[in-house]
Structure 1
Amino acid sequence: MYIVIVYDVSVERVNKVKKFLRQHLHWVQNSVFEGEITRAEFERIKAGLKDLIEEDEDSVVIYRLRSMPQRDVMGVEKNPLEDII
């Protein structure tokens, strides 16, 4: 499955969340990650995020898609997907 994760977390946790997600997904821009993952990896990501965030303060939204979406970028693309080897 292909997922897109967007998050808004407290400044004290933002670097931990970013570092964690970089281990699993492609960084697109501030607070946005995406990538193709397995169901097991999806569950690991959800569990890891649950451990990192404060559910009464932070927000994480995960979009699950069947395949990589068509992307139209306006302006500067901060981290192009073509950079992935």
Structure 2
Amino acid sequence: MYVVIVYDVSVERVNKVKKFLRQHLHWVQNSVFEGEVTRAEFERIKSTLREIIDEDEDSVVIYRLRSRPMRETLGIEKNPLEDII
């Protein structure tokens, strides 16, 4: 499945969340990651994020898609996605 994860977390945890997500997904721009993951990877990502964040203060939104979405960027591409064959 293809996921897009956006987050708004306290400054004390932002680097930990970013570092963790970089291990699994492609960084798109500040607080936004996306990529293809297996069901097991998806569950592991959710579980670890729950351990990192404070659910009373932080917010993580996960969009699950069946396939890679069509993307169009206006302005600067912060970190271009490249197709790997």
Band of TM-score, shorter chain: over 0.9
After superposition, residues 26-41 of structure 1 pair within 5 angstroms as: 26-41=26-41
1:66 partner letter = R
Describe the superposition over 1:16-44 as per-residue Cα deviations: whole angstroms up to 9, x where unpaired: 00000000000000000000000000000
Name the structure 2 match of 1:52. Answer: 52
C-alpha RMSD of matched pairs (Å): 1.3
SS of the residue 1:20 aligns to: helix
2:6 partner letter = V
Question: Is 1:68–2:68 an aligned residue pair?
Answer: yes
1:51 partner letter = E
Structure 2: which 5+ residue stretches go unaligned?
Answer: none
Describe the superposition over 1:34-69 as per-residue Cα deviations: whole angstroms up to 9, x where unpaired: 000000000000001000000000000000000000
TM (normalized to structure 1)?
Answer: 0.96
Q: Runs in 1 of length 4+ with deviation above 4 angstroms?
A: none
TM (normalized to structure 2)?
Answer: 0.96
Shift in Å, 1:83: 7.5
15 and 84 in structure 1: CA distance in 2 versus 1, 3 angstrom threshold: farther
Structure 1: which 5+ residue stretches go unaligned?
Answer: none
Name the structure 2 match of 1:14. Answer: 14
Name the structure 2 match of 1:5. Answer: 5
Q: How many residues align?
A: 85
